[in-house]
C-alpha cells in the first residue's frame, strides 16, 4: 500500500488545505532540493529511501527551479505507529529545510510541518 504526498511552498505558509493554495513560490534549484532530500531521506532522490521493513520512499521533482516535490510512501510489513512517528519527524525536518509544506494528496490536508 502507498500514500502520496506533495510538497509545495505556498505564498501563505500557514495554509492547512491544499485546495486553498492559490499560489506557490519556487522551492529551490534541483541541486539544492536533491541535497536536502538526500540529507533527510538518503537515496530517495535517485531511487528509493529504505527504512528496513518499515517503509520505502520515492521522490520526483517538478520544474527548474523546483516548484513541487511528489513523495510516494510505501508501507512495509513492519509499518507501525512508531514508524509513522519517525517518518513524520523526518518529513517535518525536510519541510523546514525547504521552507515548504507537505500535503496529503488523498484529502488535501497539511501533514508537515505543524502549524
Q: Is the pLDDT of residue 115 over 80?
A: no
Options 1.10.730, 1.10.3470, 1.10.10, 3.30.70; CATH of 2-105 = 3.30.70
> In this predicted structure, what is the pLDDT of residue 1?
78
Interval 42-97: pLDDT, tens: 999 888 999 999 999 999 999 999 999 999 999 999 999 999 999 999 999 999 99
DSSP E strands, the chain = 2-8, 49-51, 55-62, 68-75, 101-104, 110-112
The percent of residues in the chain predicted with pLDDT above 90, rounded, is 93
Q: What is the mean pLDDT of the chain?
A: 95
Taking the model in full, what pTM does it have? 0.93
- Of 68, 47, 65, the C-alpha closest to 56 is 47
Domain residue spans of the chain: 2-105
Amino acid at each position: 500500500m502507498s500514500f502520496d504526498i506533495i510538497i509545495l511552498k505556498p505564498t501563505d505558509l500557514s495554509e492547512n488545505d491544499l485546495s486553498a493554495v492559490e499560489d506557490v513560490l519556487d522551492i529551490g534549484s534541483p541541486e539544492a532540493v536533491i541535497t536536502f532530500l538526500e540529507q533527510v531521506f538518503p537515496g530517495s532522490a535517485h531511487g528509493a529511501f529504505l527504512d528496513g521493513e518499515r517503509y520505502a520512499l520515492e521522490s520526483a521533482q517538478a520544474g527548474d527551479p523546483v516548484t513541487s516535490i511528489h513523495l510516494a510512501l510505501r508501507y512495509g510489513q513492519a509499518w507501525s505507529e512508531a514508524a509513522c512517528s519517525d517518518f513524520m519527524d523526518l518529513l517535518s525536518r525536510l519541510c523546514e529545510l525547504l521552507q515548504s509544506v507537505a500535503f496529503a494528496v488523498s484529502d488535501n490536508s497539511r501533514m508537515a510541518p505543524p502549524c
